[in-house]
């Protein structure tokens, strides 16, 4: 809100009259917030490690096969090409 000094003081008095503990709660919240920020700046939290699966020395052969469709879906192809062109144009504008 864009208030003059007198308007801001009147507003604060009205809010304090409605919620008398609000300034105290705001002060406590701000103090807690500064503590948390100081802790994060001192030592950022370590990423959580996800337990991995056990590794063995066995080697595996993976076989893949391509899916062939004799009919081309030109609508999907056009949408993909337009999306690629838009991304390239945005990258050129950003650079």
Query: Total structural domains in the chain?
Result: 1
| Domain assignment present for 81 | no
pTM over 0.75: no
In a domain, residue 35? The reply is: yes
Contact 15, 22 (CB under 8 A): yes
Local structure of 57: helix, strand or coil: coil
Alpha carbon distances (Å) from 39 to 25, 29, 32, 42, 45 = 21, 15, 11, 5, 9
pLDDT in tens, 6-43: 999 999 899 889 989 988 888 898 898 888 888 777 77
Identify whether 79 is part of a domain.
Answer: no
Does the residue 71 lie in any domain? Answer: no
Does residue 40 form part of some domain? yes
Alpha-carbon distances, residue 71 vs 66, 75, 77, 81, 95 (angstroms): 15, 12, 12, 18, 39
pLDDT in tens, 47-62: 777 776 666 667 767 7
88 inside domain: no
Asked whether the beta carbons of 3 and 11 are under 8 A apart, the reply is yes
Owning domain of residue 32: 20-45
């Amino acid at each position: 809100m864009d208030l003059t000094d007198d308007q801001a003081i009147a507003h604060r008095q009205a809010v304090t009259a409605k919620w008398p503990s609000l300034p105290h709660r705001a002060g406590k919240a701000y103090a807690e917030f500064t503590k948390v920020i100081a802790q994060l700046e001192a030592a950022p939290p370590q990423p959580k490690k996800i337990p991995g699966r056990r590794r063995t020395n066995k080697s595996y052969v993976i076989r893949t096969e391509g899916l062939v469709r004799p009919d081309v879906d030109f609508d999907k192809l056009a949408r993909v090409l337009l999306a690629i062109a838009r991304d390239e144009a945005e990258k050129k504008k950003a650079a």
